[in-house]
Chain A
Amino acid sequence: MAELVIEGLTKRFGGVTAVDDVSLHVADGEFVTLLGPSGCGKSTTLAAVAGLDRADGGRITVGDRVYFDAARGIYLPPEARSCGLVFQSYALWPHMTVFDNVVFPLTLRKVSAADRRRRVMEVLELVEMAPYAARYPHELSGGQQQRVALARTLVYHPAILLLDEPLSNLDAKLRDRARAWLAELRTRLHLTTIYVTHDQIEALSLSDRIVVMNGGRIAQIGTPQDIYERPADPFVADFIGTTNFLPARVAGASAGRAQLELDDGQRLEVVAARPAEVGSRVTIAFRPEQMHVAPPGPADAAGSVLNTRVTSRSYVGGNWQVGLDLAGAVLRLETRQPPPEDVLRLWLPHAGGILFRGVADAAA
């Protein structure tokens, strides 16, 4: 019923195209995250769905209602859309108690007084804030304010739920708790949800699907596993936490495997889904947990061993973080044993690395 369809959405601010021809289909009850760095257009997309900004082009529909259609000149004001939006700042009204904040949308909808009270207490119960109904927002902690903000949007059963970086104002410990709580709530509510964040852990742990955005465009749409294991380009790989990029040249290719030569002449072998052209420049990317310090002796059958230069080492409690230089590329590695001070023999797996054509500049 409440599926969200965005087609060709475009929004310009002056000469800058903040959202550039974005199309997205969110199924009923699906939880989709817009992920990207600041300025990638994710918040602008959300504002366009909520009706806070009028987009310049494209079409937005929720269920059978057209929210916005540039071609037909349709633009519903935010109050006519029935979206639920939780702001990054929570936007609780400071002059009203928790109860008054939450009851406001019901009063607007002319719900009877008895129903209003019941529904407000029900939703406050749901977010575990019922004992605080008479408090004012400034008397609550950040996490509590966030729950009230969520209650205020859930109370009127919005057609879709929009969450704009709701966890970013919480401190690290609270954020973990709130994330777990949100994940649990999400399965109970089964609401069509758009979640905007720049935190890949939130995106990976909460979403049915993730939309990675970059420069106003969609870089990749996929499940968390897709995005994490098969990033479409170096930008996505980098953003999702794969931080090690090696530029190389294809030295040889055979039966789903490729031999790569680094700039300093060292070689490694990788599994390549698509055959790479011999002689072409490529970039191979590894996540930190895929690499480890090679045991003494020759390489095993599952990986290659390369000599790297240690550029930095720091003890971060339990683990060492090591900065490595491999043929001019900067790698970061986590290891339990104290690393050597000069040369480190690095083991890289044949399978699991991601091969991109060309030299990855997004990784910089």
Chain B
Amino acid sequence: MRTSVAEAPPTPSAFPREIPIQYGTAILVLVLVVAPLLPVLLQSLLDGALYEDSYTFTLGNFAKLARTDGFGQVLINSVVLAGLTTLVAQGIGTLAAILFGRTDLPLARLMGELFLWPLYLSALVLSFGWYAVYGPAGYFTQIWDSLLGEAPWTLYSLGGMAVIAGVSQAPLAYIYCLSSATITDPSLEEAARVSGSGTFRTLWRITLPLMKPAIAYSAVLNFTVGLELLSIPLIFGDPAGITVLTTFLFNNGISSPRPDHGLVATAAALMLVVVCFLVWLQGRMLGNTRRFITLGGKASRPRPFRLGVLRWPLFILAALYILAAVIAPLAVLVLRAFTSFLSPMIPLGEVLTLANFVTIFDYPVYARSVWNSLIVSIVGGALATALVGLIAVIVHRSEFRFRGALSYLALFPRAVPGVVAGIGFFYAFALVPGLGSLRNSIWILVIAFTMRFIPAGIGAVAPMLLQVSHDLDRAARVQGADWWTTSRSIMLPLMRPALVGCFTILFISFFKEYATAIFLFAPGSEVIGTTLLQLWVQGEVGLVAALATIQVAVIALCIAAVRGIFGVKLHG
């Protein structure tokens, strides 16, 4: 085989294909991200409604908001709730990370798994669960009442809400602390132990300080999530007259018959600015965290600490927590779904029924919300996954001139609370003519959810992409494949596991999302989240439980399937 005559490279297409693809994607992301933000910011500076014919620019809305009765209290409530939530979440999460991740606690792995469950559930479902167990007529409350007299707690308070929110967010702190603990050089702890430091002394003096960056980072993260929380304040705060920023936006923007758009947009803009700052802070801290913890860099799992005589007492404590905070709310919620009335005073056999589920599927409105949720999550999740894959390949594997800007833009929705995105898309679709048909369909939800969860998707895809050697795509390019062919036949197949993980995360996120949806849904485009809230307002506790059970079951099924078939890890 003598090859002195060189073959021509494949004839390049007349027009480089990467240009429309890369610019198209960038413009799409730009529109997605800017569409909800621009109207909110604009509306906050106008004296009239955005859709009216004439208006003037003004700062009056800010003054008006400041003068609004009780708005100061709203701000204080928001900060207190987010602060308490963070405290609870960090305390529990850090403790759990040490106990389940670093000690010889019995069944530590299993409990670690159970501990993560709230992460996969919407705070809305979790709230219903807590209500069913610890609410005024809750299962456990009734037992307590009958045995010990009136229960000394109430969920209808800032403290009560913070406990529910804290439990639902503790997994975030847990994950960050755990990953910090597993990549810390174990020799640091070994050294302390060898030099005669006891278990608890080592934990306190070495392990915990090493987790500090992770604790600090997840604390800011949890504070941000705490500020954005809508469901818990809506369910437990509103009846008790405790208003926070999100419920303020909800009540004035949606429930009010004559919404003051200037006021709502201004409050939303204010929230946007605060959350932007917090997300910026997270970014800075993450940079520091990385610098701090990659020092040891070895993935070897350190030897677990011996708890000695405290092993079993601590196990009982941990098991009680899992039972009380994770299993009981879920179990009672599911049980409630299958009963007509649930009380410890009445034998279970007398109340068991499938009536709740029958009702759900008999009424088109309720049934439709289930199907809508499934379609939004499956089709929307797939579309969003495709977009995320494209963004990731452009940002990390192309010479696109604006890839830095695209990366920033694609991660920006982290800084947009769901409530603000909902209001923003609501304005955007009301303003742009010709979008009327979209506005009353589930596709507006797909668009809004996609925008909301692009960063989560990228978080699932980017680390994998960074591990793929650049030589693999360079080799294809040198052999004559243009950027798009390389991306399609080399990069995307290599990213398959990451894309499956991305789809799963987006599916779950879309399926449990409600905060954005309640501003956007219309008759015909209800999803589970919005129907849950409506049923709750109507007091249909049984139907709420049944619908929530359906949501939990679908998510559980999805996670089990992905883990079983693909072995994809969804966190860590």
Contacts and interface: CB of A to CB of B under 8 A. Distances in A.
Contacts of B359: none
A111 B478 CA distance: 18
Contacts of A50: 474, 478
Contact of A94 (B480, B482, B494): B494
Contact of B479 (A94, A152, A188): A152
A29 B475 contact: no
Contacts of A1: 4-6
B471 A87 contact: yes
B113 interface: no
A159 interface: yes
Contacts of A154: 1, 3
A353 interface: no
B469 A82 contact: no
Contacts of B490: 93
Interface string B477-491: 111111001000110
A157 B476 CA distance: 15
A156 B480 contact: yes
A63 B6 contact: yes
Contacts of A2: 6
Contacts of A190: 2-4
A301 to B, nearest CB: 52
Given A79-B10, A80-B12, A108-B480, A87 B475 contact: yes
Contact of B476 (A77, A80, A104, A126): A104
Given A77-B482, A79-B480, A159 B474 contact: no
A108 to B, nearest CB: 5
A109 B480 contact: yes
A82 B475 contact: no
Given A94-B494, A105-B480, A82 B2 contact: no
Nearest to B474: A52
Interface in B486-534: 489-490, 493-494, 496
A105 B479 contact: yes
A108 B472 contact: no
Contacts of A126: 1
Interface residues of A, number: 45
Contact of B1 (A28, A93, A122, A156): A122
B471 A91 contact: yes
B393 to A, nearest CB: 15
Given A1-B4, A108-B481, A156-B479, A82 B9 contact: yes
A79 B471 contact: no
- Chain B interface mostly: loop
Contacts of B471: 87-91
A79 B493 contact: no
B52 interface: no
A183 to B, nearest CB: 17
Nearest to A63: B6
A122 B476 CA distance: 21
B474 A79 contact: no
Interface in B295-326: none
A2 B6 CA distance: 8
Nearest to B2: A190
Contacts of A194: none
A49 B490 CA distance: 23
Contact of A91 (B4, B469, B481): B469
A63 B5 CA distance: 11
A275 B477 CA distance: 54
Interface string A120-163: 00110010000000000000000000000000111011111000
Interface string B1-40: 1111111111010000000000000000000000000000
Contact of A157 (B7, B478, B482, B496): B7
Given A50-B478, A95-B494, A81 B5 contact: no
B472 A79 contact: no
A52 B477 contact: yes
Closest CB pairs A-B (n = 10):
A91-B471, A159-B6, A91-B475, A105-B479, A82-B9, A157-B7, A78-B477, A85-B478, A87-B471, A157-B3
6 contacts: A87-B471, A95-B496, A157-B6, A188-B2, A189-B1, A190-B4
Interface of B: 1-10, 12, 469, 471-472, 474-482, 485, 489-490, 493-494, 496
Interface of A: 1-2, 28-29, 50-52, 63, 77-85, 87-91, 93-95, 104-105, 108-110, 122-123, 126, 152-154, 156-160, 188-191
Given A87-B471, A108-B479, A123-B1, 8 more contacts: A78-B477, A79-B481, A80-B480, A81-B478, A105-B480, A110-B10, A152-B479, A156-B7
